[in-house]
Chain A
C-alpha cells in the first residue's frame, strides 16, 4: 500500500495520467478501452446490502490487510468512502474507479482500492463484497483476463469465496452469478453514427444478449458517439467463451465502422476535413462550453485525428479531455465547487489549454 492520507491520495489522482485512456492500445482509433470486472463474495458473510455493520467492517479490514500485505497491491491505495465528500466520491465515479451505485449507497465501510496506473480497482462492499475491475487501453480483453484472474487467485489465498459447484461464484444479484464476470469494450463510432448505421447494430446486439451503454456507465445516455458493449450472460459459459464471443461481436462492429470510414473518406473527404477543423476551431477558442457540446466536438475532432486528416492533438489527449470535462473532475481540478455556468467557463479554459498545447 502507498499512502494513507486521503488528501495526498486525491491530489495524486487529480494529477495522474490514467493509463487506460492513453490511446496507445490495439485499434485505438476505434476502441477506447477494454474492461473486465469480477464479482466476488466471502463465504459465511451475507452480501453487503444485507450484512451487519460489524460484518461490513470485517470485509473492509480484510481488504485493508490484503492491500497492505500483498505485493500485487504494493503501489495501490485504499479509500474509505465514508470519509469522502459527495464531490470526491463523484470524482471517483468519473474516473471510472467506482460505480454510481457505490458512491450513492448508504451502508458504511464502502471502500475503493486502486493502483497507481488506475488500471486495477476493487470496490469493497459494493453490492458484492469485492468487485475487481481491470481496464486497459484499446482492444485487449484476453490480456486483461490473464491479469485479473491472477489478482483473483491472489485475493483467494486470503479468503474463501462464496462458491457453489452448480451456480459458480455466488453474487448478490442473480444476473451476475456464475463467472461473476462482466466484460466490456468502449467504442468510438462516429462514422456509423453519421450514416445512421448505429440502430441496426444496436438492434442486433441487444437481441443476442449484449448490452449497450454510454461512456459514463449504467443508466447514462450516449454522448460523443461513445458506446460501451458488454456481455449480459454470466452463467453457463466459461470466461474465455464470454470474452471470445464479445470480441467477435465487437470485431464485426469495428469492421463496419472501418468500412464506412473508408467510404466517407473517398466520397466526402472535404466535408470530413471541414467538420474536424471546425470542431478544432471551436474547441480551441470557445469561452463557454457545455459538456454535451464539448463531447460532440471532441468526437468530431477525434474522428478527424483517427482518419489522419488533422494532425493534432493525439488520441490520448482527446480521450483524457473526455474524462476531464466532467463536472466533478472539473471542480476537483479547480479546487472549489462551481455552479453550472462557472463550470462551462472553466471547461472552456481547460479544453483551450489542452488543445492549444
Chain B
C-alpha cells in the first residue's frame, strides 16, 4: 500500500483510531512518519473522542429501536427536570439524577455499549449503605412474615411485623430529612 501523504513510497507505519468499534487507519511511509514526528515532536494521536462515540452509539440504538418496531415520535421526558430524550441525544448530558430512572429503558443498552456493563459494583455511599441494607432487610422480613402467617405462628409474625414497621419508620424519617 502507498503512503497516504506522499502517495509515492510504500507505507510502513499504520495509525489506527478505534471509535465505538469502528476502525480508521492511516498508512504512512517511514519518511512521512518521521516528518510528522519532527514537526510536532510526536505523531498525531489516535484520539478517542468520547462525544463522537456517544453520538454514534445513540444513533445506533435509535436505529435498533426503529427496527424493533418501537414507536418513534413518542416524546420521552424526565419527570423531574423535564429534559427530553432528544435533548439528551444532542448534548450527551443528562439533566438530573431522575433522568437515569426515567430514561432507564433507553440508557441501559447505551451504558452496556459504553462500559460493557450496566450494573454498578463499586463503592457505595455510607448513607445509602445503611439505607440499602434496610431496604434489603425489609424485603427479607416481609418474606419471613408471609411464611410465619402461613404456618399460623401469629406471635412470631407479630414480632416480625413490628420489626418491619420500625425499619420503615426509620427509612421514612430519613427520607423526610
A296 and B120 contacting across the interface, CB-CB below 8 Å: no
Would B15 and A199 count as touching, CB distance under 8 A? yes
Point out the residues of chain A lying under 8 angstroms from B54, CB to CB: 174-175
| Chain B residues numbered 82-111 whose CB sits less than 8 Å from any CB in chain A | 83, 92-97, 100-101, 104, 107, 110-111
How far in angstroms is the closest Cβ of chain A from B70? 20
Binding site secondary structure of chain A? loop
A237 is an interface residue with CB less than 8 A from chain B = yes
Asked whether any CB of chain B lies closer than 8 Å to the CB of A232, the reply is: yes
A172-B93, A178-B115 known; A238+B100 contact, CB < 8 A? no
**Cα(A179)–Cα(B40), bound, Å:** 36
Q: Mark B119-133, 1 if CB is under 8 A from A, else 0.
A: 111111111100010
On whether the beta carbons of A175 and B114 are closer than 8 Å, the reply is: yes
| CB of A206 within 8 Å of the partner chain | yes
- The reply to whether A153 and B119 form a contact with Cβ atoms under 8 Å apart is no
Please give the distance in Å from A186's CB to the nearest CB on chain B.
14
Q: Bound complex: CA of A49 vs CA of B87, how far in Å?
A: 13
A353 contacts chain B at the CB level, 8 A cutoff: no
By the criterion of a CB under 8 Å from any partner CB, how many residues of chain B are at the interface? 49
Q: Which residue of A lies closest to B110 (CB)?
A: A174
In the complex, A225 Cα to B120 Cα: how many Å? 36
State the Cβ distance, B49 to closest chain A Cβ, in Å.
9
Interface size grouping (class) on chain A: 35 or more
* In the complex with contacts A170-B97, A222-B41, A50-B48 CB distance below 8 A: no
Enumerate chain A residues within 8 angstroms of B111, measured Cβ to Cβ: 167, 174, 177, 235
Contact indicator A179/B96 (Cβ below 8 Å): no
A198 to B36, CA, bound (A): 13
Q: Does B63 make an interface contact (CB < 8 A)?
A: no
Whether, in the assembled complex, B69 has its beta carbon less than 8 Å from a beta carbon of chain A, the answer is no
A233 to B34, CA, bound (A): 33
Q: Say yes or no: is B71 at the interface (Cβ < 8 Å to chain A).
A: no
Contacts of B17 in A (CB 8 A): 206
Indicate if A236 sits at the interface (CB-CB under 8 A): yes
Q: Which residue of A lies closest to B80 (CB)?
A: A46
A160 in the interface (beta carbon within 8 A): yes
Name A's B-contacting residues (CB within 8 A): 41, 43-47, 49-50, 127, 149, 152-153, 156-157, 160-175, 177-179, 181, 193, 196, 198-199, 202-203, 206-207, 209, 211-214, 221-225, 232-239, 292, 295-296, 299
Binding site for A on B (CB under 8 A): 13-18, 33, 37, 40-46, 48, 50, 54, 80-81, 83, 92-97, 100-101, 104, 107, 110-111, 114-128, 132
